[in-house]
């Protein structure tokens, strides 16, 4: 069905999530350009095959039962085109590689997200951010595929808000970002200082998906991670999944955790937060096979 395309059959999804959990995908595809991506989507539609667009897998909990469809990884859509203080970047590039390239080019503005194991596409999808910055601050326009054709969406029409955007109904192909010229050494210092803050506060030595819950938008004072900590739930385990002892917002895989372990731990935390009068909202994506 996917002749001449980079396609793995019965691919192990655990290798493609930073949580290191997941069964097998019937197909795992790596389009090397937009034309191939559109071709793959067309075949999937004709064959009635479910699809899932994968960035860097840093926010997806795959099911141990796997995915009976086509997972489409955009990691090969990673081109960078420089035009003055702007760059046009493919959605599949990961933020480590993008930051290192920008640092060499002497372009500043993205250092805040150095250390986050995301792809640009995934980060745009949910308007990711940290340390008071969000990706939307540097976006000029986003290129998407709407199922029929490629479209350009200007920043103001992307619906960027706290950990969300209205890009979620599209396949994100890339974006034009505006940055500022800066000395490479200064950019490197900024990157390192942001990364160090992450290393100090987050359990980066264990597989995880980052923060499980969003801050409550209507009341940012109510911070799920702080509440979980206050309830003394750091270190609580189900199977091999644990509420991180370092950061109460993270669930870590101690090695050998199942999707069921993690899912049950999420549900347990949700019940505990509800007892405190908080309506928790998941930041992570749970891809459950039904």
x/- binding map, residues 63-102, to ligand FAD, per CB under 6 A?
Answer: -----------x----------------x-----------
Query: Does residue 153 bind ligand FAD (CB under 6 A)?
Result: no
DSSP state of 198: H
Determine, following the binding rule CB under 6 A, whether residue 121 of this chain makes contact with ligand FAD.
Answer: yes
Q: Does 118 bind ligand FAD (CB under 6 A)?
A: yes
Phi, psi of 116 (to 5 degrees): -95, 125
Closest to ligand FAD by CB, 169 vs 232, is 169
Q: CA of 263: how far to CAs of 226, 258, 284, in Å?
A: 20, 9, 11
Asked if residue 55 binds ligand FAD (CB under 6 A), the reply is yes
**What element of type H or E holds 27?**
strand 24-29
Contact with ligand FAD (CB under 6 A) among 37, 107, 126, 257? 126
Smallest gap from residue 198 Cβ to ligand FAD (A): 7
Q: Which of 163, 184, 264, 282 is catalytic?
A: 163
Q: How far is CA 284 from CA 126, 136, 214, 281, in A?
A: 10, 19, 9, 9
Site stretch for ligand FAD (CB under 6 A), options 57-65, 180-188, 232-240, 263-271 = 57-65
**Residue 147 or 183 with smaller CB distance to ligand FAD:** 147
For 78, which DSSP code? -
Tokens 């980066």, residue?
A: 204
Is 211 labeled as catalytic in the residue annotation?
Answer: yes
**In whole angstroms, what is the distance from residue 192 CA to residue 200 CA?**
12
Tokens of 130: 């940290």
3 vs 148 by CB, closer to ligand FAD: 148
111 and 190 in contact (C-beta within 8 Å)?
yes
CA proximity to 185, closest of 108, 80, 83, 98: 108
Residue number with CB closer to ligand FAD (4 or 169)? 169
SS3 annotation, 94-123: EHHHHHHHHHHHCEECCHHHCCCCCEHHHH
Residue ranges in 243-282 that form contacts with ligand FAD under rule CB under 6 A? none
CA pair distance 75, 70, nearest whole angstrom:
15
3-state secondary structure of 235: coil
Using CB under 6 A, count the residues that bind ligand FAD: 32
State the DSSP code for 228.
H
Q: Which is nearer to ligand FAD, 131 or 274 (CB)?
A: 131
Binding of ligand FAD by 210 (CB under 6 A): yes
Indicate the SS3 state at residue 6: coil
Site stretch for ligand FAD (CB under 6 A), options 53-61, 147-155, 229-237, 261-269: 53-61
Position among 8, 11, 13, 18 found at the interface with ligand FAD (CB under 6 A):
18
Look up 163 and say whether it is catalytic. Answer: yes
Q: Which of 137, 285, 286, 289 binds ligand FAD (CB under 6 A)?
A: 285
Interface positions with ligand FAD (CB under 6 A): 18, 52-60, 74, 91, 116-119, 121-123, 125-126, 128-130, 171-172, 202, 204, 208-210, 285
Active centre residues (catalytic): 163, 211, 283
């Amino acid at each position: 069905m996917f002749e001449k395309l980079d396609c793995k059959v019965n691919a192990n999804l655990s290798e493609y999530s930073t949580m290191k959990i997941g069964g097998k995908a019937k197909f795992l595809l790596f389009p090397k350009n937009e034309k191939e991506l559109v071709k793959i989507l067309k075949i999937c539609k004709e064959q009635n095959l479910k699809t899932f667009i994968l960035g860097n897998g840093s926010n997806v909990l795959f099911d141990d039962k796997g995915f009976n469809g086509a997972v489409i990884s955009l990691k090969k859509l990673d081109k960078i085109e420089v035009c003055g203080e702007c760059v046009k970047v493919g959605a599949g590039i990961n933020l480590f590689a993008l930051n290192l390239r920008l640092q060499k080019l002497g372009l500043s503005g993205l250092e805040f997200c150095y250390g986050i194991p995301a792809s640009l596409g995934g980060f745009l999808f949910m308007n990711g951010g940290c340390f008071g910055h969000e990706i939307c601050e540097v976006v000029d326009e986003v290129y998407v595929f709407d199922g029929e054709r490629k479209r350009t969406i200007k920043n103001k029409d992307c619906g960027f808000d706290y950990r969300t955007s209205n890009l979620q109904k599209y396949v994100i192909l890339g974006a034009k970002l505006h940055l500022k010229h800066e000395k490479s050494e200064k950019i490197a210092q900024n990157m390192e200082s942001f990364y160090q803050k992450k290393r100090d506060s987050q359990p980066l030595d264990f597989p995880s998906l980052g923060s499980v819950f969003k801050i409550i938008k209507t009341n940012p004072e109510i911070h799920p991670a702080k509440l979980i900590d206050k309830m003394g739930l750091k270190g609580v385990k189900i199977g091999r999944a644990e509420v991180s002892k370092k950061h109460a917002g993270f669930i870590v895989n101690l090695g050998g955790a199942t999707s069921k372990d993690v899912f049950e731990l999420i549900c347990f935390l949700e019940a505990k937060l509800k007892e405190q009068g908080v309506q928790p909202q998941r930041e992570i994506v749970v891809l459950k096979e039904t």
